[in-house]
Amino acid sequence: MQETRVFDGEHLRASLFNPGSKRLFVTFRQRVAVAGEFEDRGPVRNMTRHGYAHLHIQPRHNDWYINAETKPLSRSLRALTRGFEDVSAMGFSMGGYGALRFSKALHLKRLIAVSPQFTIAPGAVPNDRRRKEAAGFDAELGDLVRFGRHGVQGVVLFDPFRKMDLSHALFIQAVFSDLKLCRLSCAGHPASQVIREGGSFWDLQTLLREGPLTPARVLAMHRSRRRHSPSYWQKLARIARQHGRPQLAAAADAALKRLAQAAETGA
């Protein structure tokens, strides 16, 4: 499927696939270990084959989409999305922040945000010192209160045992009151690891497409897949020990051992 560059800057890029559709699905690049180049990205087939256009937005660097091209991109997105009847999106971590930052420009209606940040501005979220990019972050240009579409509906997925992800989720819901919090215990960061280990993101995308998009449905998906997720049992064992629950830790270790044995025997 041919890519159409609807924004092609030095710092930001937006690529459109299947442009003739009336419904649009938007994805955002998450933070990468080695930045400095744009990624080659094809369409999300699970959406385009069901009649969606797909727009992928990415920064060249891990600058959280905040740079000299943020405003020009916003203008381009505002003009582009006027022609769509429905716009939905999914974003992970930095990509979740990007989805919220451009939600007004995108005329965004529904969102799945996985472990998103509210901001990386120094001191804005107490005790959050995780991002080295924070020193150069323009808090005014990145302000979700000003630039977010507050009526966007959907879910915010996060692991409640990751204190910073919990804090960011609470900040986000205070601004975006129609986004519902979905606590996925031992899911990690981003909080889709267990769901992905058990299959793929297709089921999450299908919730955006067909609905209903509710925390209960996402939580049920997480619970059904965690039985076969090594990362879930590893995290549960560690957290149980930290909280003085040796029996729960032993049960998690036993489950992890059973998964390892099943993988060895191909059962």
Q: In the block, which residue shows the tokens 């120094």? A: 122
Provide the Cα torsion 150, 184, 163, 175; round to 10°: 10
Residue 183, pLDDT above cutoff 80: yes
The answer, as to whether pTM is greater than 0.75, is yes
46 Cβ contact list (under 8 Å, min separation 6): 202, 205, 206
The Cα 260–Cα 256 span in angstroms is: 6
Residue 101, pLDDT above cutoff 80: yes
Distance of CA 137 to the CA centre of its chain: 20
Q: What is the mean pLDDT of the chain?
A: 94
Burial of 15 from C-beta contacts in 10 A (0-12 / 13-18 / 19+): buried
Residue 267, pLDDT above cutoff 60: no
Structure tokens belonging to residue 204: 């999450």
Average pLDDT for 166-194: 96
The Cα 138–Cα 186 span in angstroms is: 32
- Percentage of the chain surpassing pLDDT 90? 83
Give the pLDDT confidence of 64-100 residue by residue, as tens digits. Answer: 999 999 999 999 999 999 989 999 999 999 999 999 9
Domains of the chain: 4-226 (3.40.50.1820), 228-267 (no CATH)
The pLDDT of residue 256: 93
Residue 31, pLDDT above cutoff 80: yes
